[in-house]
Amino acid sequence: MNVPLEVSPGVIAAGEVITFDGLSDGGEHLMVVFGDALSQRRPLVRLHSECLTGDVLGSRRCDCGPQLREAMLLMQDKGGLLLYLRQEGRGIGLYNKIDAYVLQDTGMDTFEANRALNFGDDQRTYAVAAQMLIALELREVDVLSNNPEKVRQLRAAGVRVHRQRLTEVHITEANRRYLTAKVEYAGHAISIDRAGG
pLDDT tens, residue by residue, 152-174 = 999 999 999 999 988 877 777 87
pLDDT confidence band for 116 (50 / 70 / 90): very high
pLDDT in tens, 64-101: 899 999 999 999 989 999 999 999 887 899 999 999 89
Domains and CATH numbers, the chain: 2-87+124-186 (3.40.50.10990)
Q: 100, 64 in Cβ contact below 8 A? A: no
Give the CA distances from residue 41 to residues 36, 70, 139, 141, 161, in Å, rounded to whole numbers and listed in that order. 10, 22, 9, 8, 12
Say if residue 196's pLDDT is above 60: no
What is the residue-averaged pLDDT of the chain?
88
Flag whether the pTM goes above 0.85. yes
In whole angstroms, give the CA distance from residue 45 to residue 37.
9
Cβ count within 10 A of residue 41: 8
3-state helix, strand, coil in the chain (%, to 5): 40, 20, 40
Residue whose C-alpha is closest to residue 16's, from 43, 35, 29, 44: 35
Positive or negative, the CA dihedral 176, 88, 128, 75 is negative
Structure-derived torsion over alpha carbons of residues 153, 127, 88, 53, reported in degrees to the nearest 10? 60
Burial of 31 (0-12, 13-18, 19+ CB in 10 A): buried
As beta bridge partners, residue 16 has 2, 33
* pLDDT for residue 86: 94
- Predicted pLDDT of residue 186: 59
Cα R_g (the chain), whole angstroms: 16
Confirm if 157 and 150 have CB atoms less than 8 A apart.
no
Residues tagged active-site: 122, 124
* pLDDT tens digits, 14-41: 999 999 998 888 889 999 999 999 999 9
Are the CB atoms for 70 and 167 separated by under 8 Å? yes
- Amino acid of residue 57: L
pLDDT at 45 > cutoff 70: yes
Does residue 87 contact residue 195 with C-beta atoms inside 8 Å?
no
What value does the mean pLDDT take over residues 45-63?
90
